[in-house]
Amino acid sequence: QAARAHGMGCAASIGGQRMGGACPPGLSPCCDATDASGDDLRMTDSMAPVVGDGADQGFLNKFSRQNAALGAEVTMKMTKMRALVVGCTGVAVEVTKNLILQGIGAITLCDAKTAQIADLGANFFLSEADVGKPIAPTLVPKFKELNPFCNIQAVAALTHDLVLQHSVVIVCDRMPIDDLIKWDDFCRRASPKPIAFLMVHTGGVFGNVFVDFGPSHIVVDGNGQHPMIRLVDTIESGTEALVRVVVPDGQTPGSFPDGSYVEFSDIKGCDGLCAHQEAAPTGEMVTAWKISSKSGDPVNTIRIGDTTKFPAYKGSGLMTEKKVGMPYPFKSLEETLKNPGCPFDNMVGTDMVNFGSELQSHLALHAVLALEKERNRPLANGEEDLAAVIAKAKALQASKESLLEIDVDEEIFKKFVRHFNSPLQPFCAFLGGVVAQEVVKISGKFTPIPGWLHVNAIEALPDDLPSDCAPKGCRYDNLAAVYGHGFIEKLSNLRHFMVGCGALGCEFLKNYALNGVCCGENGLLTVTDADRIELSNLTRQFLFREHNVGQPKSRAASGMAQVMNPGMKVKALEMFVGPKTEDEFNDDFWMGLDGICNALDNMEARFYVDDQCVKYQKPLLESGTMGPAGNVDPIVPMKTQTYRDGGQADEGGGIPMCTLRNFPHLPDHCIEWSRDQFELLFVKSGKQAKKFAEDPDTFINDRESSTDDAQAIFEVRGLLSLLRAAATPSVQSAGQMAFDYFHLLFRDKIQDLINAFPEDSRVIDPDTKQDKGSFWSGHKRFPKAAAFDPANPTHWQYQVSTTALFAQMLGALPLKKENDDNFVKDWRNQKWCAEQIKSLKVPEYIAGAVNTEGDAAAGGGDRAGGAAGGKTDSKDTLRALLRQLEEFKGKPLPALEEADFEKDDDYNFHIEFITRCANLRADNYHISNSDFQKVKLVAGRIVPAIATTTAAVCGLVMLELFKVVLGKPVEAFRTRQIGLAVNTYTSFEAEPPKKYASGVEKKVPKAEDLPADAFDEAGKIKPEFVISEPYAAYPENHSVWDKLEVPTPTMTLGGFKVWLANEHKIKLKSWGFVLGWKSTEDENGKEQRTPFSTQIYPPPLVLDPELFPPLTDGQGDAMKKLMGNPKVPQPAKMQYLNAWKQAKEKGVMPSTGGEAVKLDMSLKDVLLLMEKKADAAVQDGTMNPKWGKAITGLADRKVWVVPADQTPSCNTIPADDSDPVDVRYMASIQIPLV
């Protein structure tokens, strides 16, 4: 019974035909993996996508997110791979699913067993109707749905010939230790090159993986990160030459490790240095330099070899990291069973809390395998064989069959052995991601696991052994063996909310279904996602098929999850989660939940959901992925810190505006600039035309008074071109617009820069007048103005794409329809462009200005760019252009269609335009060009994503859900950071909530504000002159989870003040209530949101219009009347006067002012008034509606929570004669509404 339930039926397992026959000591001729033609049988191209203009582009589009993480070359290599998966266990189907999604060419499932009911707990493609059927053939058609290009077949027996037809063997089923060793050896000795061999096992909360790519594996790219790029500053002449480098704008600072290789380009001088070759560690000659360093070398320097044979360095140049092959030999299974290495040294470390548990797992696995060999039977369920396993482990050590010098930890062994035969679905999902990623590494991308990986989640086990673990003949038997059937019932009746249904959401839905979450009578999973399925989703979001493209994600995914488990209760919604949908996701909704699972891809939504979980005290399962990296963050009320407490995710360094505007030096700078041009040309230009048409005088006045002449001239020239084209909309006028912008962007603005800063310009210190060197040095590249060449592919492709986009804007060309891959197909050639150009007019060069803000060397302001080297007055140029604009006043403007940027349609000209625009910009500055796919990744902000990381992360999240249901303490929860590329599997105890306590802030005055005796002999400020400013926290040591709960909704504002004083010993000083946010700009002109508030306490004075002097009075008379009027309160007289002055300017007497806050108003009524004020502030334009209101939907709420950062200003009421202290940190305030 144990053998059947836990996968002992494979032809290569105990009791079956082993190895396909006897394996001789040496390799037989059948080990040659080539046929007579010399073709490698382990690779396939029969189902690979056709490479060509159409099919290849579609293939790249489908795998765009994966290519961002792995590179298109690795994805193409995957299409040539053949994988042999031995056993159709839970972890096997996870591995297979991930490999198929990542585009593997072929997979063979080897298993002779039939499906059992317990298999349904981890095998997502099996149903109750499949029980009793041969498992491998049953799965084949279901796997084929994931990727029609993958050749999938099923076999029953494992043979030599079968293995030789594959590039990797993955053993996921139980197999005798001798067979494992023999098959590993067979694969290592295969010819012409080794076959990769992997083994994976999971039982309970333990997982074990073995990897062997043979003795000659080569790693080409160990970390998968983009090559580091540095600007060359100087290159010394010497035998170990020192090279000084500068970090380019927008690049992450960092050092090249010793032994890295770099290549040089665009160097002036040092002729021959860029072509230098030397041997890589593999013996291959590469065009690169191996770098080193010496103790005491300055920062931002590296050393290369002998440069004395080269001419002197003259300037400029780039240094780029070169990824070269590195030998990465593997040891055999037999050798590493004896000695797996040391965790965090030559073995992957996984447990930062229980160091050394990896070795305990290894020894336990070795002992189980050896004991099964000795007894010729599988390990018994439970702890029956525990003593024998411990004894065998000690015997292995004594006989030196194991070289591990560790004491057996009997508690770990007990947990390992007890559930050895009970695979848990979360571990299957996690290891399925890990193992599939190891298969990808066969390509040479990333660093493989060097032998063994042992992981555990002992902290996820129940504190006490459940008493209801006996099997019931149901799909949940393996889960019950660890946690008990009572636990499963708790899971089934959970009411959960899943936010997002993309890659993470699909995996979570599958995991929920297989573990019975929300499958009970009272259970319900609410899933929401406003997106619809796109082609590029299919490589990661495995619940979707090609026929689902265009359908709502939440509904399609929920339907598939219910096929996996018909008992699952799911409510699918199609909406965002945020302030604007709080009528749907209201108090009743949040209060009725047991927990939330985020499956999001943006920080704003994550923070919003986190805030709601804090407000309603609900646990949150948070996770995320970025290529091969992932994270897990469990958020549990009162036990852990919140997601927001963890801080803002690193968004990476930005590129300074001055670099984008005038001084790009990397291809990425050109791409980012071109993405901005797309918005300027096809979105903002139309908006400006509409503004001009509505109010031309204001538009002209605003531009004339602009402080940025360069931008104003650009905008007006572009607007003139648009207005001329709009007067007679046609493809030809659209082409003229495109031609105008070519010369404006790539000729005129470049010429302006050249005129302002000629090639021989020098940097002169404005104070000392010292010559600091050439202006065009360092990262500044002297540009070259473009001249249109219809034979240049970049030029004519720019003209075609820009014409098509402008023609659609003008209505001269119908908008492209979705999935129309033949859109203006006859335009897409050089001949069409050449014909169009014949009738276009080359625009006259008009000298403009150069905005050098942000660049100190350039003067940090506007510089004229006239032909006379800066003599032309840019204001004169601007006024002349504005006079031309006057001619279009009052003329009708046709409807202009703004472009809606869509990165995943390769035929809509959006990425095409940005690609050509970026390369024209690059040509201006002598920068290398970028291909379409790179531009798509950068300009489309495509987040690298792969199925393996998603599966691994979601499996780990399920373990945190189990802990929440078990009510585990904070010490049991794990914050995890995984890196599948470099084998990082670290976990840490979750951080407890951040506490706020009272304290004293020390403020050091400015030295110039202090007397002479404030300094000691060393010149330091004496302690008595340091200002101590105490502050309070209330309640003391509170966290964001704590709240001050107002007892009743009828409490008045005055009563609230008394309640704070009497119950909490704090005095209400003032309260400015945040209604929402208004738009402002930061110092870089970037839009930002700023809180907009109104005063609640003290209640603001309400001005009585009856007391105002007549508006016909002069200011002096009005002041006399107000000062002499006894009805006007003395403290309010100046307020009345200021209000009268504003009314006089408008010529309208103010109204009564409407409702006002009063001390006798209930807090509920105060909040209702604030909601009205928020509505009014949005309507009158004071607040920006896109940020949302801070208060809304009160009619349907049961409580309102004032966030901690918006609480009233208070101070303490001391019990003694001490001074009051300002309350700096106050808990949020919960006000009941019913």
Contact yes or no for 102/81 (Cβ under 8 A): no
- CB burial class (10 A; 0-12, 13-18, 19+) of residue 1096? buried
Annotated catalytic residue: which of 270, 658, 833, 954? Answer: 658
**What's the rounded Cα separation, in Å, for the pair 822 and 708?**
43
**What's the rounded Cα separation, in Å, for the pair 80 and 61?**
19
**What's the rounded Cα separation, in Å, for the pair 292 and 288?**
13
Contact yes or no for 1048/1232 (Cβ under 8 A): yes
Tokens of 973: 């929860």
What type of residue sits at position 370? A
CA atoms within 13 A on the CB side of 259: 3
- Using DSSP bridges, classify how beta strands 106-110 and 151-155 pair: parallel, antiparallel or unpaired: parallel
CA atoms within 13 A on the CB side of 899: 29
Ordered strands of the 1027-1034 beta sheet:
999-1003, 1027-1034, 1223-1226
Q: Which helix (H) or strand (E) holds 268?
A: strand 268-269
Name 1088's bridge partners: 1080
What type of residue sits at position 1130? Q
Contacts of 286 (CB under 8 A, 6+ apart): 261, 277, 278, 279, 280, 322, 324
What type of residue sits at position 153? Q
Tokens of 756: 């302002």
- Using DSSP bridges, classify how beta strands 261-265 and 524-528 pair: parallel, antiparallel or unpaired: unpaired
- Measured CA angle at 1074 (ends 1076, 1045), to 5 deg: 125
What type of residue sits at position 459? E
**What's the rounded Cα separation, in Å, for the pair 223 and 211?**
18
Name 1212's bridge partners: 1066
Contacts of 52 (CB under 8 A, 6+ apart): none
Tokens of 824: 């203006």
Q: Which helix (H) or strand (E) holds 742?
A: helix 731-743
Peptide bond preceding 1035 in cis form (omega within 30 of 0): yes
Phi and psi angles of residue 399, each rounded to the nearest 5 degrees, phi first = -85, 0
In the three-class reduction of DSSP (H, G, I as helix; E, B as strand; rest coil), residue 630 is classed as: strand
Contact yes or no for 511/955 (Cβ under 8 A): yes
- Is 518 in the active site? no
Chain position carrying tokens 């929402």: 1076
Question: Residue 346, Cα to own-chain centre: how many angstroms?
Answer: 31
**What's the rounded Cα separation, in Å, for the pair 240 and 238?**
5
Helix axes 696-704, 685-694, angle to 10 degrees: 120
Contacts of 1093 (CB under 8 A, 6+ apart): 1072, 1073, 1074, 1075
Of 453, 419, 417, nearest in space to 433 by CA: 453
Alpha helices in 603-730 (DSSP H): 603-616, 657-661, 667-679, 685-694, 696-704, 709-727
Q: Read out DSSP for 8-43?
A: --STTSTTS--TTSPPPSSPPGGGB-B-TT--BTTB
1054 sits in the region (left: phi over 0; alpha: psi -120 to 50; else beta) called alpha
Catalytic annotation, residues: 658
